Amino acid sequence: MDPVVLVDPVVLIMIRKIVEWLKLLSHLLSEQLGVQYGTLSEWRKLRVKKAKTPEKQMSEDEYKRENEQLRKEIAEVNRANEILKDALGFFAKDRKR
């Protein structure tokens, strides 16, 4: 059986006020995002559920495959970045004329 915890009434009032403010902020945020409050609430529930779900442990082979794939993607991004730098230099020179 859980021990009984006595909480100061002032603390309870503060907690209730914080909960009220969080609800108000959630409603304001949903308006700013242009989504229904219920949708925002569902997103939050999904995020909490995902955070509580432990990630599947990958085997060493899976880590190696993922690592190799990520290395390839990094190399591709670096190549694209170099092309963009060259193009920027080319257009910058052309603009000075």
Q: Establish if 46 belongs to a structural domain.
A: yes
Could you tell me if 21 and 42 lie in one domain?
Answer: yes
Could you tell me if 43 and 77 lie in one domain?
Answer: no
The total number of structural domains in the chain stands at 2
Q: Residue 91: pLDDT band by 50, 70, 90 thresholds? A: confident
Percent of the chain clearing pLDDT 70 (strictly above):
91
Query: Are 26 and 40 within 8 A, CB to CB?
Result: yes
Tell me phi and psi for residue 54, to 5 degrees: -70, 140
Q: In terms of residue numbers, what domain contains 85?
A: 59-97
The one-letter amino acid code at 64 reads K
Could you tell me if 13 and 48 lie in one domain?
Answer: yes
Q: How far apart are CA 97 and CA 93, in angstroms?
A: 7
Per-residue pLDDT reduced to its tens digit, 55-85: 778 899 999 999 999 999 999 999 999 999 8
Per-residue pLDDT reduced to its tens digit, 13-28: 999 999 999 889 988 9
Q: Residue 93: pLDDT band by 50, 70, 90 thresholds? A: confident
